[in-house]
Amino acid sequence: MGRYGVAFESPTSIYSLGSGVEVTNLRVFSNGSTGIYAVGSTRVTDNTAHNNGGWGLFLSADSGYRDNVITNNAGGSVSGGVNAGGNVCDGSLTCP
């Protein structure tokens, strides 16, 4: 198993995608660590992250997430970020 399902770094990173990136319509599952790892003003929308070895979503404080389904991840559903609504975490409409 790999470390992350999908990783997006900050604009100052060597792996820069730029500020304001949107991560959308991904199905990320069965990774050895976090499903979606996003920092640097990233918007994470309409994704599914399940059965990962770490967090479903691991986000920086300036990243936001909405309309995602996050379930059954060993580390928990979401760490960090701003909940913009419409998310389902482990069957609940209440996400961290």
Is residue 82 in a domain?
A: yes
Judge whether 83 lies within some domain.
Answer: yes
Q: Model-level pTM? A: 0.83
Domain total of the chain: 1
Name the burial class of residue 90, with classes exposed (0-12), middle (13-18) and buried (19+) by CB atoms within 10 angstroms of its CB. Answer: middle
* 96 in any annotated domain: no
Q: Which range marks the domain in which residue 80 is found?
A: 6-89
30, part of any domain: yes
In a domain, 94, yes or no: no
pLDDT tens track for 35-84:
898 888 889 999 999 999 999 999 989 899 999 999 999 999 999 999 99
Is 95 a domain residue?
Answer: no
Whether residue 14 is contained in a domain is answered as: yes
